[in-house]
Amino acid sequence: MQQEVLIIGFVWPEPNSSGAGTRMMQLIELFQEQNWNITFASAAADSEFMFDVTSIGVKKVPIAINDSSFDTFIQELNPSIVLFDRFIVEEQFGWRVAENCPNALRILDTIDLHTLRLARQKASKENKEFQPSDLYSETAKREIASILRCDVSLLISEIEIEILQNHFKIDAKILYYLPFLVDSIDEKTIENLPKFHERKDFIFIGNFLHEPNWNAVQYLKETLWPLIKKELPEASLLIYGAYPSQKVWQLHKPEDRFLILGRAHNAATEVKKARVVLAPVRFGAGAKGKLIEAMQSGTPSITTTVGAESMHGTLPWNGIITDGEQEIAKGAVQLYQDEILWQKAQQNGIEIINQRYSKSLFGNGFISHILSIQENIEQHRMDNFMGSILLHHTLSSTKYMSRWIEEKNKTK
């Protein structure tokens, strides 16, 4: 069956800037492998670093928030599948999709569970231990409502599915685990990876617009790097990331071998040169693209419990997982110096990629799942009656608020 897929993006995809951009390109590739027509629409402004989706045969359409021109656009496109990139996008356009194309399958890609990430962030800022009761926030009300309104929501972390089912009582039928989708690592690829003695230095990569990344860099600068540098005075820490602000650049201290290098032209190339990835993530959610990239590059990593959460199942980690600052520093030094430990960690990472992120293990199953829901869409929606109620009231409230904003804008 030929499908017309509409993806509504929070931003235009930037796979070289963030894990979210990489994830989006993986979904586009998966849909294209089915020979489905894809249109990517967004209300975001063009950016210097966005990927040109038209270069791979995807139609690019700018749209506007609180503007009925979207209604005309989607009626003419008449998609059979609509994918919302984050719950904020579903809030803005979901009701219009439901009203104008009621038979279209509505998919929400959560990217990460914002409810969990922001609750952990708040607890960290308040210097208190995160508690499950912290989950019940205004963000949770919005995000859970969005999940309920959609036919299926994609989660990149199994822990997040457990939270949605156990704490928010979300029916498993509308949740689907879909991790990062990457190519398996074969023997030839392994042979071509730089060896232990061909690598040097530590590396951190992360989009600075993402608060967990900025927090991790501050933690490295203020606490961890002085401890590591004391033991390894010849090593440097290379900090790469998109959208560094002035406060980020101010941390650049060549005399301390703490180097802020901004956007990496090719992140994978830089990670392959490094001996160890440092990722002391103190709060966050979802799967960490930087740690997937480390494994693909054959670079062991040291990270926290939150950093590695739901990423490796029962498999041994690609390095060391620990949370105390002394333990992180000690582990980083050990991983940097011990070639046997380093090689074992590298092999662990390759196993994690091949067993938990290989596109061949998950891609076809996901496509079959959404086709199955399409075939039984009426029953599927009846089984999610709470979602129908929320959609009904959203149409009643959000619709008229949006119409009011649109009329108000006309008078300006």
Question: Nearest to residue 298, comparing CAs of 359, 347, 244?
Answer: 347
How far apart CA 21 and CA 111 sit, in angstroms, is 10
User: What percent of the chain is modeled with pLDDT above 70?
Assistant: 96
Per-residue pLDDT band at 400 (split at 50, 70, 90): low
How high is the pLDDT of residue 179? 96
Per-residue pLDDT band at 404 (split at 50, 70, 90): low
How far apart CA 10 and CA 65 sit, in angstroms, is 11
Q: Annotate 17-64 with DSSP letters as a single string.
A: T-HHHHHHHHHHHHHHTTT-EEEEEESSPP-TT---GGGGT-EEEE--
Per-residue pLDDT band at 17 (split at 50, 70, 90): confident
Indicate the helix (H) or strand (E) that contains 365.
helix 359-375
353 vs 16, higher pLDDT: 353
Indicate the helix (H) or strand (E) that contains 182.
none
Number of CB atoms found within 10 A of residue 102's CB: 11
Q: Are 396 and 206 a contacting pair, CB within 8 Å?
A: no
How far apart CA 394 and CA 397 sit, in angstroms, is 5
Averaged confidence pLDDT in the chain: 94
How far apart CA 28 and CA 294 sit, in angstroms, is 23
Which fold would CATH assign to domain 4-181+359-410? Answer: Rossmann fold (3.40.50)
Average pLDDT for residues 191-213, to the nearest whole number?
95
Average pLDDT for residues 152-159, to the nearest whole number?
96
The CATH superfamily label for domain 187-356 reads Glycogen Phosphorylase B; (3.40.50.2000)
Whether the predicted pLDDT of 411 surpasses 80? no
267 vs 407, higher pLDDT: 267
Per-residue pLDDT band at 66 (split at 50, 70, 90): confident
How high is the pLDDT of residue 192? 95
Beta carbons within 8 Å of 126's beta carbon, 6+ residues apart: none
How high is the pLDDT of residue 412? 61
Cα dihedral 365, 371, 376, 379 sign: positive
Q: What is the pLDDT of residues 25-42, one digit of tens each?
A: 999 999 999 999 999 999
CATH 3.40.50.2000 residue ranges in the chain?
4-181+359-410, 187-356
How high is the pLDDT of residue 37? 97
Mode of pairing for the β-strands spanning 301-303 and 237-240: unpaired
User: Is 147 exposed, middle or buried, given 0-12, 13-18 or 19+ CB atoms closer than 10 A?
Assistant: buried
How high is the pLDDT of residue 401? 67
Which parts of 212-272 are beta strand (E)?
Answer: 237-240, 258-262
Q: What is the pLDDT of residues 311-349, one digit of tens each?
A: 999 999 999 999 999 999 999 999 999 999 999 999 999
| Residue found under tokens 């809030």 | 91
Indicate the helix (H) or strand (E) that contains 88.
helix 87-100
**Is pTM, for the whole model, over 0.85?**
yes
How high is the pLDDT of residue 396? 64
Average pLDDT for residues 365-391, to the nearest whole number?
93
Whether the predicted pLDDT of 60 surpasses 90? yes
Q: What is the pLDDT of residues 242-253, one digit of tens each?
A: 999 999 999 999
Average pLDDT for residues 29-57, to the nearest whole number?
96
